[in-house]
Amino acid sequence: GQNIDQPTEMTATEGAIVQINCTYQTSGFNGLFWYQQHAGEAPTFLSYNVLDGLEEKGRFSSFLSRSKGYSYLLLKELQMKDSASYLCAVNRGSTLGRLYFGRGTQLTVWP
Amino acid sequence: NAGVTQTPKFRILKIGQSMTLQCTQDMNHNYMYWYRQDPGMGLKLIYYSVGAGITDKGEVPNGYNVSRSTTEDFPLRLELAAPSQTSVYFCASSPQTMNTEAFFGQGTRLTVV
């Protein structure tokens, strides 16, 4: 496979902060995406990182370290509606269009 | 604001039957993709297209075919359906591939029995 690794499941409580990690093979790296997918629905875009550092967008932030092959998605002020699967996806290689997805992290937010 | 539209939403096929999953987008995107998602797994790229008349294989193309005669439409053809093709299929499009988000259709849930 493409060796994109994420934890399978995470739980947290409303109002808390959670960090979802993603590691990947660094060869041919061209950018990393995070998508959110609610049960039975299509994935929706959250963030894109191609340079090292932190990208902040409201309650969600995404971090990338290219040398370490590591990214995380940080969710603040958790809400019940944040219960979903979070997919890490890597754009890799010289062939355009090849976006490789991890298995996703199922986040459950408890009241 | 239709975005990416997939039909049908659900389908049951018998082993050996054929069918076409339809996908159309109204955003004038050049790039279109077909993914499959098995339970508890990430999305696997089946085929993609960078523009009308141009298609290429993804990670798991065996058993599938595609065509891209127009910018809007990107149908996925299953020939001789097999139980291993039971999955949820997502079509997606993006203006370009390298640093822009992909917009997904609502998916087609296919069962092969």
- pLDDT tens for each residue of B32-46: 999 999 988 889 999
B89: left (phi over 0), alpha (psi -120 to 50) or beta: beta
Q: Does B30 touch chain A (CB under 8 A)?
A: no
Interface of B with A in 8-27 (CB under 8 A): none
Average pLDDT (A20-31) is 90
Nearest to B76 by CA among B5, B21, B11: B21
Q: Does B89 touch chain A (CB under 8 A)?
A: no
Determine the residue among B101, B103, B108, B109 to mutate to test chain A binding: the one whose Cβ has the most chain A Cβ atoms within 10 Å.
B101
Per-residue confidence band for B99, with pLDDT thresholds at 50, 70 and 90: low
Q: What percent of chain A has pLDDT over 90?
A: 79
User: Residue B83: is the preceding peptide bond cis (ω within 30°)?
Assistant: no
